[in-house]
Structures are given as structure tokens and as C-alpha cells.
Amino acid sequence: MASSHIIDYKLYGEDMQYVAIELDPQETVIAEAGTMMYMEEGIDFTARMGDGTTSAGGLFGKLMGAGKRVLTGESLFLTHFTNQGQGKSHVAFAAPYPGSIMPIDLDEANGELICQRDAFLCGAYGTQLSIAFNKRLGAGFFGGEGFILQRLRGDGLVFIHAGGTMTERYLNNETLRVDTGCLVAFENTIDYDIERAGNFRSMLFGGEGLFLATLRGTGRVWLQSLPFSRMADRVLANANVGGGGRADENSGGALLRGLSNLLDD
């Protein structure tokens, strides 16, 4: 695998962050479609089928990579932003919902990171994006993200985003149980599985869901305080603001129903 481009960056904001990437001439950053906030003069961008790594394997490899991205629920294309100018220039990216952005050096993460399927925001050119099938049936069916997680490989910087506040935990041959929706990413030295959330009564009435993610081993784990699905559930649960159980059109009922239809899709 070729070495990733070396990029500099600066994070802005606290609760609704964005990241500004500084590119030297001919440096490139790849990003999910629709996440660009602004770009300065000299930056050129193009949508490509694949991450641009040398292991793509020609057209067939690109088609296979695109198919895998469809399985993770992402766009067929990644956007490549390249500095075609003579001096340094900047391009900025923002998360699609309120939360935090975390920079991670893949070289310090044993060259690989496993994350939830919508966590990747952008990364240095040379980063390889693929999918990671969960080998355990229990983790696949009840792990929130299903059988498919996203795998990031390389030796450069990547930026992941999550809802609310993101925190990094280091496990030293320890076990950590986490709400399945609060798990964002983990290093490949961590073993991931799913277990029941207590006894039958606790599972039904405890309010913590039926299953918990169990993380074991030595390495880093990243968690989010407010999964988007949890926030959306609360919004929809309080959508009936008008009389008679009907949403008031003048109070944003139409907007809330539109959000509901979007989530159903």
C-alpha cells in the first residue's frame, strides 16, 4: 500500500465542529460526498468511484469497491480534492449532524481502524476504505450496525465524526460494555461481540435496549454520547404538538413528518 499524503488540519467549534485541511501543491484529501463546507482558490475536486488507492485493481476493482460502499449505505462515489495551485490552500469539511470530529493517525492505530458505517468524514489520499463483515451471528443481527462495519486502512490521517461528545477510551486487557448505538470505532486489536443486557426483565424494562456491545482486549475505543438514531427517536416521539394528537402545521409538523419520511427511507 502506498504511503498516504501528509496533510495538516485545524478543528473549529465545540459542539458542531468542522475541520479545515491545509493542502500543499498536488496534495489530495478524499471525503464523503456532500460534506465539503468551503474551498479556497487552487482547489480542484472530482467525484471518483473508489478511494484512489493503488490496490483498486482497475475498473473491476473500482466497481467492486463501489458495490461494497452501497452495502455500507454510503454513496457510490468519494470526492477527491486536490490543490492544483502553486501555494498552500485549504478545504473544509463539516459533519452532516451535530457532534464531534476526531482526527486519528492510522499509522498509530496499527494501520487499520474499524468504525460504524457512517463515521468516516474525510482522510488523506492513500487511505483505503472497505467493509468489515462481522463474523459472529449475534453481533451481526443485534449489533446495531448489522454484519457490516467500515474498515479504514493506511498510514495517514483520517477524520471520523459522531453525535454529541466523542471520547477515547484505552483498554488494557480489559472488557467494556457499551450501548450498541454509542460505539463509533475501535482498533483491530479489540474483540467485538454482543451480549444480552441483563436478565429478561432488565432487557424489557431497563430502557437500555436488549443487547450491549462487548469490547475486549488492549487498544483504543471511541464512543459517542448522542447517537443520531437516539436523537431522532426523541424528536419523533415529541412530534405531536397540536391538539387531538395531530401535529400542528404552523408549529413545524410538516417538517417533522418530512424528517420521519427521510428516516424511514
pLDDT in tens, 31-83: 998 899 999 999 999 998 878 775 545 555 555 555 555 555 556 789 999 99
**Boundaries of CATH 3.60.160.10 in the chain?**
8-226
Give Cβ neighbours of residue 90 (< 8 Å, ≥ 6 apart). Answer: 20, 21, 22, 23, 39, 40, 43
CA-based nearest residue to 149, from 173, 176, 180: 180
pLDDT in tens, 177-209: 998 889 999 999 999 887 766 555 554 554 455
> What's the DSSP call for residue 248?
P
Domain 8-226 CATH class label: alpha beta
DSSP string of 1-66? -PPPPP-EEEEE-SSB-EEEEEE-TT-EEEEETT-EEEE-TTEEEEEESS---GGG-HHHHHHHHH
6: pLDDT confidence band, cut at 50, 70 and 90?
very high
